Copies of this chain bind each other. A is one copy, B any other.
Amino acid sequence: MSTEELVLSQSQELRRGTVVLACLALLEEAQYGYALLETLNDAGVSVDGNTLYPLLRRLEKQGLLTSEWNTDESRPRKFYRTSPEGSRVRVGLEREWQDLVASMARLTKENRGIR
């Protein structure tokens, strides 16, 4: 693998873990899958539908999201929203995320001098 390919594959690994947190945060405001997908990608959390849609169904099964069909428009759409339990998990995950960001900042700064 080239340097670029190694960075890319490893970077996908980095991003994978953040998708759940991003979904729980964004879905405090109800959205349907495709709109959420666009919001995530616009924000730089790249994910595709084959990953996101099964993830949303899993999070609903775990009780972290609720869903509701909106039939106001010609094409019915399933809207997802973060449940109260999802909000609690989200708060815990945000704390974990902040800890991790701080840890990584320490680790990568410590070694800056000898790069």
Q: Which residues of A contact B (CB under 8 A)?
A: 1, 3-4, 6-7, 10-11, 13-18, 20-22, 25-26, 28-29, 40, 43-45, 62, 64, 85, 87-89, 92-94, 96-97, 99-104, 106-108, 110-111, 114-115
List 13 A-B pairs, Cβ < 8 Å.
Answer: A4-B92, A7-B93, A7-B96, A13-B17, A13-B20, A14-B17, A14-B18, A14-B93, A14-B97, A15-B100, A43-B106, A44-B99, A44-B103
Nearest-neighbor residue (CB-CB) of A29 within chain B: B114
- Contacts A92-B3, A92-B4, A93-B7; is A22 near B107 (CB within 8 Å)? yes
- Going nearest first, the 10 A-B pairs with the smallest beta carbon separation are A7-B92, A44-B103, A14-B17, A11-B96, A13-B17, A25-B108, A6-B89, A3-B88, A43-B103, A25-B111
Task: State the majority secondary structure of interface residues on A.
Answer: helix
State A102–B15 Cα separation when bound (angstroms). Answer: 12
Copy count, this protein chain: 2
State A14–B96 Cα separation when bound (angstroms). Answer: 8
Q: Which of A4, A6, A13 has the most CB of B within 10 A?
A: A6
